[in-house]
Amino acid sequence: MLFPELNLSSALVRAATELGFVTPTPIQLEAIPAVLRGADLQACAQTGSGKTAAFALPLLQRLQEQPAHTPRRVRGLILVPTRELAAQVGEVLRSLAQHLPQPLKVAVVFGGVSINPQMMGLRGGADLVVATPGRLLDLVAHNALKLGWVNTLILDEADRLLDLGFADELAKVLALLPAKRQTLLFSATFPEAVQALADRLLTDPVRIEVAATPDTTPAIVQRVIQVDATQRTPLLRHLVKTEGWQRVLVFVATQYDAERVADKLYKTGIFATPFHGGLSQGARTQVLDEFKAERWEVVVTTDLAARGIDIAQLPVVLNYDLPRSPVDYLHRIGRTGRAGETGQAISFVSAGTEAHFRLIEKRQHLSLPREQIAGFEPTEVEAPSVAAQAPGTGGIKGKRPSKKDKLRAAAAQLRSP
């Protein structure tokens, strides 16, 4: 099936074609007809599945079919967790709307920058707003916009919205919206908190879950390299030079590590720069633009870049530090192998993180061979787990004993003569 067969207008089909959208993805095939019917939607799809176009195309069509207002009233609201995702979604919306016979005004607002230009941009109203929750509430408090006319609400990356602590702000935004509206909830995962949110917000929703298939799974080669923790930076420098990587996105655990690793690489002649939430919005935007333009070889980032950032033809993603959860692992490696391209995802694993990576493998149904690079062979040895030291203490995550393990050990000591 092609986009013209989904009852989209010729203007939207033309814009989609110009953006390279020819054949709808599975999430687009299922979501677009449902949104056009006005149904509520709960959609779960893997990263890079094309979900932005899945809600953007039918949303723009529905707005076109509604009478225009002067001044403009906000009729569509998209809430996202990060500034980068807000900018990316806004860019897609504006590109898709460029040929519409009735021009639509798309406003993109987020924190980290001065509120005054955003207030100026909202003079005369807007048809569609893409926002992070905190800045949206600031603008409402300044009377820069009103939400009483919103008829379509979209929560994009709903699990991330809750992970980042937006629950309170989200509740305040919802209280400002009309009770009668269409609500679309998109999320890569549906943990208990997100499902509870969906159950509360959605009315008789269409539920879509697009499982990964050989046709939709990104072509990502996953590698695991064993290395001592102290040798990760020298090994990273070695790989950048010997593998001939032009661009690589490196994930670390903290903002401090992003600065430290990038600085060490830069001092050895590798064009590396940090990217994290502690940078100003202007600096973050500049780093991404320059990375996309291939002016940086390495960008060292926190999980800020794990979602909502689309860098075309990014060849390599590297986990310098392992992510906290298996879900974060999936989102990190999803920055490569996008839009039909092939990619490579490498994880550094030391003796201290081997148990954690085995947990990631188990949850993601993986079994990856371990590699060692000549000259960087690990010397550290993995410590035996508590279960291995004291049979019968039960399974644990990694090496650290649980509270139950400690109680069992204490009881065993009391029983011993």
pLDDT in tens, the chain (417 residues): 778 889 899 999 999 998 888 789 899 999 999 999 999 999 987 666 788 999 999 999 999 998 877 789 999 999 998 888 898 899 999 999 999 998 999 999 999 889 999 999 999 999 999 999 999 999 999 999 999 999 999 999 888 888 778 889 999 999 999 999 999 999 888 888 889 999 999 999 999 988 654 444 567 899 999 999 999 999 999 999 999 898 999 999 999 999 999 999 999 999 999 999 888 888 988 998 899 889 999 999 998 877 767 777 789 999 999 998 888 898 888 888 776 678 899 999 999 999 999 999 998 889 999 999 999 999 988 766 544 444 544 444 445 565 556 655 655 555 554
What is the rounded distance in angstroms from the CA atom of residue 138 to the CA atom of residue 18?
36
Secondary structure (3-state) at 365: coil
What architecture is the 3-210 domain classified under in CATH? 3-Layer(aba) Sandwich (3.40)
Sign of CA dihedral 235, 309, 9, 177: positive
Domain range 219-371, CATH class: alpha beta
Residue 312: how many other CB atoms lie within 10 Å: 8
Please tell me if the domain spanning 3-210 has the same topology as the one spanning 219-371.
yes
Tokens 């937006």 locate to: 166
What confidence score (pLDDT) does residue 313 get? 79
Residue 221: how many other CB atoms lie within 10 Å: 12
Kindly list the domain boundaries of the chain, sorted by start residue. Answer: 3-210, 219-371, 386-415
What confidence score (pLDDT) does residue 36 get? 95
Nearest to 225 by CA among 242, 210, 246: 242
Q: What is the DSSP letter of 343?
A: E
**How much of the chain is helix, strand and coil, in % rounded to 5?**
40, 15, 45
Which DSSP helix (H) or strand (E) runs through 347? strand 342-349
Question: Which residues are within 8 A (CB) of 33 and not within 5 positions of it... i.e. 6 or more apart?
Answer: 6, 7
What confidence score (pLDDT) does residue 387 get? 46
Secondary structure (3-state) at 58: helix
Sign of CA dihedral 76, 79, 83, 89: negative
What is the CA 147 to chain-centroid distance, rounded? Answer: 26
What is the rounded distance in angstroms from the CA atom of residue 332 to the CA atom of residue 289?
19
Q: What single-letter amino acid sits at 291? A: F
What is the rounded distance in angstroms from the CA atom of residue 290 to the CA atom of residue 298?
11
What confidence score (pLDDT) does residue 306 get? 75
Distances in whole angstroms, Cα of residue 192 to Cα of each of 51, 176, 199, 212: 22, 25, 10, 22
What is the rounded distance in angstroms from the CA atom of residue 187 to the CA atom of residue 199?
14
Q: Where are the beta strands (DSSP E) in 69-205?
A: 76-79, 106-109, 128-131, 152-155, 182-187
Tokens 């021009």 locate to: 103
Nearest to 53 by CA among 82, 95, 81: 95
Looking at 268-402, list the stretches that DSSP marks H as alpha helix, in order from N- to C-terminal side: 281-292, 326-333, 354-363, 386-389
Rounded to two decimals, the pTM is 0.70
Please check whether residue 129 is in contact with residue 138, taking contact to mean a CB–CB distance below 8 angstroms. no
